[in-house]
Amino acid sequence: MAAYADGARPPPSARSQLVIADEQLDTLDPEQLRQALRAARAEMALKDQLLAKREHEVAFKQAVIDKLTHENAVLKRLKFAAKSEAYTAEQKSLLEETLDMDLAAVAAEIDALQPLSQQAEDKKRPKRQPLPANLPRREIRHEPEDTTCGCGAPMKRIGEDVAEKLDYQPGVFTVERHVRGKWVCACCEKLVQAPVAPHVIDKGIPTAGLLAQVLVAKFLDHLPLYRQEFIFQRAGMAIVRSTLAQWVGECGVQLQPLVDALSAELLRHPVLHADETPVAMLKPGNKKTHKAYIWTYCTTRYNPTKAVVFNFAETRSGENVREFLGLQSHTPWKGKLVTDGFSGYKASFDLGVTEVGCAAHARRKFHELWANHGSQVGERALKIFQLLFKIEEEIAALTPEERRRIRQRKSRRVARLLHRWLLAQRQQIPNGSATAKAIDYTLKRWEALTRYLEDGALPISNNWVENQIRPIALGRSNWLFAGSLRAGKRAAAIMSLVHSARINGHDPFAYLKDILERLPTHPASQIDELLPHRWNPPAAAL
């Protein structure tokens, strides 16, 4: 017999055969009846197998369709739609600046169209904060050309109105004249003179301030040296690019011991973040670039020691991580490492490092499902993740023990709910679909993702280190590429210092200027005193 759809009737020929078969049942003896039943069961089993096979084929095809639909939606969104989650701080800043410009222009046009009386009322606004008192003032006097009244009597000054406006002039070079007096005794002909003060660049013309300006402009403000050359030229001082490059190279050598000390300080802490981002590096000889990586390591947001170290490498191999953590040395680092789940870290976990997962990366998989084609599973998962992140915002300022206690009481219940819900959803979703991949990503890493519930010193995500990497994205568009492995390592080293100074609330220029002045005479055994998180601005700079 053939299988028919629900509610469908078999053709007349088949109906007659079935009727005849039913009529013949009354004439069959018990043995013949048993044989007929066995044959019918075998036929039904075969049909069940064929139906199951067809259902499997339909499910597989639907999974492929879902996968391709998801991929197509992602590509369309990348091409045409705004990616809110991919906005960097710099992109958001540019967007906000544009909006502020438009708002100011519209407000000015509205004011111009309003009656004069309405304009006067609109100008009665709160007074702005006075300009900083430490800024130099240059008075410009505006007095009437004639202070004699029309009646012939002289006028008397009774007061004045003052309006302060903020002015700016491009950088101005000055020259420090270091005059060392020579003193001699007339009777014994003894000569006394103060020794030459040591400098980072021996017998060089730049002060520590000028060197700090070049370094901060290149590695924090992302201004290549050729642009700085033009800026200095406009300020009246022509400094060729090769000279600037020489200064940067020599400063990199002088600052390397401080960067080594910062790396050693980082490895004294039991919880670290790690992430990597690609940069282009020029291959010597063929004038082509290949993909290199800047690896980033930093302390957590909960750690009072704020430090970040960038490490430039030619590959994305996990060997770079193991080398930085000293896992094959006599004193390997055995702490907890917060990562995004990249496979390159797995060997480090096998050598004793504890893996801590990133809930933001797991959440991002469901955000893609929801944003690209309105997945209900993605939307539900996002709401549960939102509860976990909201709890973290509320307890961020608490002590580690308080965070752990609240996580045990609140976050653990939400995490259990999420886990049970994901398991139930996974049973209903065919393999290979985008939804299945998002769920599998989270379930396979569940132990690492929920490890933060047991330790108040652990963060819920790897977002903190991603925030440290974001400035590199802007730098990539200006650097174009790292000229060599040495240049990449030097850039990573200096960026480690300026960004560590920044996250500690210091002015990176003031920090670099001070340590470049102190380094030539500072004892090597006390180098830790100059680390960004231990540095205090000199009294004159306060």
pLDDT digits (tens, 9 = 90+) for 382-431: 999 999 999 999 999 999 999 999 999 999 999 999 999 999 999 998 88
Regarding pTM above 0.95, the answer is no
Place 14 in a pLDDT band, splitting at 50, 70 and 90: very low
Cα–Cα dist 126/70, whole Å:
53
From the list 521, 324, 313, 346, the residue with the least C-alpha distance to 445 is 346
Residues of the chain with CATH 3.30.420: 246-357+462-541
Top mean-pLDDT range of 13-17, 58-62, 255-259: 255-259
| Residue-averaged pLDDT of the chain | 80
Cα–Cα dist 417/473, whole Å:
37
- 246-357+462-541, CATH topology level: Nucleotidyltransferase; domain 5 (3.30.420)
Residues 388-426: b if buried by 16+ CB within 10 A, e if exposed: bbebbeebeeeeeeebbebbeebbeebbeebbeebeebb
Higher-pLDDT residue of 317 and 170 is: 317
Helix, strand, coil in percent for the chain, rounding step 5:
55, 10, 35
What mean pLDDT comes out for the span 359-381? Answer: 92
